[in-house]
Amino acid sequence: MACGKTADEDHPAIRRASEVLAAGGLVAFPTETVYGLGGDATCAAAVDAIYAAKGRPADNPLIVHLAGAERLTDLVTVPPVALRLAERFWPGPLTLVLPARKGLPGSLTRGLNTLAVRVPDHPVALALLRRSGLPVAAPSANRSGRPSPTTAEHVLQDLDGRLKLILDGGPCREGIESTVLDLSRDRPTLLRPGAIRREQLQEALGRTVRVPGVSEHSSPASPGTRYRHYTPQARVVLVDRDVSDTSIHGMIEHLTQLGSWAYLSVRRSTLVPPGVRVVHRQSASELTRCLFADLREFDRHGVKLILVDAVDDEEPVMDRLRRASSDRLSQEDFINLRLPEIVQRLRS
């Protein structure tokens, strides 16, 4: 249902969506990051239905969305640092992992002793949360492993027939999912980079935020990072920032033999021959906002290989790109390999 960008609690679409949630049904709704697939977090059947609709691994827990920080203590223990971050960044793209209150349903905690919570910064999401009065469990509204949805149309592509209602509030502002910060351990730990940056968190906390090493990602503490993510049907290859335009031109000429491929570029100077599917993004932030939509659009055209220009490694979008990609080309590769060898590598 169309609900505009600023629906209030009395909007007919919001009323209908609240009824669906209250009856244990699933509703997709826009947030400032990506669209979420929401269900009543206190209803085991609704939570189970979310896992079934997404095809989500059973051990990967969900984020609970709230209208404000007031009801946090129903669900989690709230240390003072969490309150400080909540005051500073909520509503906003920050998820906090906190110690779960005893007695929460196992369908929600998935065997962990923590729970992830956030207050989204989107009028439609907030209207729905206020109207329903429920804590709403909501993962991104995509089939598991696919790029997250940033429009209602993307939700429909993945979940048509698997949910009751989609609230269409237009494209999402941020384009990638929230920052996930674990406050349940000795030291604050960044489980997923997002629009709220590590430096902002450190500044607000007055202490360093850890970034887990690769090996820790397989631990139960950050279940979501274990799975393959954000994958379009095509093979995604990152092109390092140090790769020269000359090397790129050479590669593109050799790639023309290679059927359906595309180039997602942030380079201004790259001249691409006609016939190549190229999408130019002006900046890291435009790349971030449009990435998931671009990946889906390439899929729609049956693209088999996507080259993507890397941006600064500190940009949160690079986390998504590293996980979506299966190879990364650097200038050194162009020095060590002949172009046909590079093309061969891109093919395999």
Q: Which residues bind Mg ion (CB under 5 A)?
A: 140
Long-range contacts of 213-222 (CB under 8 A, 24+ apart): 220/59, 220/112, 221/182, 221/185, 221/189, 221/191, 222/180, 222/182, 222/191, 222/192
Handedness of CA 289, 327, 148, 120 (dihedral sign): negative
Q: With respect to ligand TXA, which residue has the nearer C-beta, 24 or 212?
A: 212
Vertex 124 angle, CA 136 and 69, to 5°: 50
Q: Whole-number minimum distance, CB 139 to ligand TXA, in Å?
A: 3
Stretch that binds ligand TXA, among 26-34, 270-278, 296-304, 306-314 (CB under 6 A): 26-34
Among residues 66, 115, 167, 284, the one that binds ligand TXA under rule CB under 6 A: 115
151 binds ligand TXA (CB under 6 A): no
**Non-local CB neighbours of 136 within 8 Å, separated by 6+ positions:** 21, 36, 38, 39, 40, 41, 64, 65, 66, 128, 129
329 binds ligand TXA (CB under 6 A): no
Which residue in 325, 344, 179 sits closest to 251, CA to CA? 344
Print the binding letters for residues 282-311 with ligand TXA: x by CB under 6 A, - otherwise: ------------------------------
Residue type, 226: R
223 binds ligand TXA (CB under 6 A): yes
180 binds ligand TXA (CB under 6 A): yes
Q: Which residues of 232-252 are buried (b: 16+ CB within 10 A; e: fewer)?
A: bebbbbbbeeebeeebbeebb
Q: Choose from Mg ion, ligand TXA, none: what does 36 bind? Cβ within 5-8 Å by kind.
A: ligand TXA
Two structure tokens written together for 334: 């162009």
Compute the distance between CA of residue 131 and CA of residue 191 in angstroms, rounded to an integer. Answer: 31
Q: Choose from Mg ion, ligand TXA, none: what does 97 bind? Cβ within 5-8 Å by kind.
A: ligand TXA
265 binds ligand TXA (CB under 6 A): no
140 binds ligand TXA (CB under 6 A): yes
Print the binding letters for residues 46-75 with ligand TXA: x by CB under 6 A, - otherwise: --------------xxxx------------
Compute the distance between CA of residue 135 and CA of residue 142 in angstroms, rounded to an integer. Answer: 20
Print the binding letters for residues 95-114 with ligand TXA: x by CB under 6 A, - otherwise: x-x--------------x-x
Vertex 44 angle, CA 39 and 47, to 5°: 35
Compute the distance between CA of residue 90 and CA of residue 72 in angstroms, rounded to an integer. Answer: 12
Q: Whole-number minimum distance, CB 197 to ligand TXA, in Å?
A: 15
Burial class (CB in 10 A: 0-12, 13-18, 19+), 221: middle
Which residue in 48, 18, 35 sits closest to 164, CA to CA? 18
Question: What is the dihedral angle through the alpha carbons of 55, 42, 110, 72, rounded to the nearest 10 degrees?
Answer: 120
Compute the distance between CA of residue 177 and CA of residue 187 in angstroms, rounded to an integer. Answer: 23
222 binds ligand TXA (CB under 6 A): yes
117 binds ligand TXA (CB under 6 A): no
Q: With respect to Mg ion, which residue has the nearer C-beta, 18 or 178?
A: 178
36 binds ligand TXA (CB under 6 A): yes
Q: With respect to ligand TXA, which residue has the nearer C-beta, 97 or 237?
A: 97
Q: Whole-number minimum distance, CB 91 to ligand TXA, in Å?
A: 11
Q: Choose from ligand TXA, Mg ion, none: what does 138 bind? Cβ within 5-8 Å by kind.
A: ligand TXA
Q: Choose from Mg ion, ligand TXA, none: what does 94 bind? Cβ within 5-8 Å by kind.
A: none
Residue type, 318: M
135 binds ligand TXA (CB under 6 A): no
Residues that bind ligand TXA (CB under 6 A): 31, 33-34, 36, 60-63, 95, 97, 112, 114-116, 120, 138-140, 177-178, 180, 191-192, 222-224
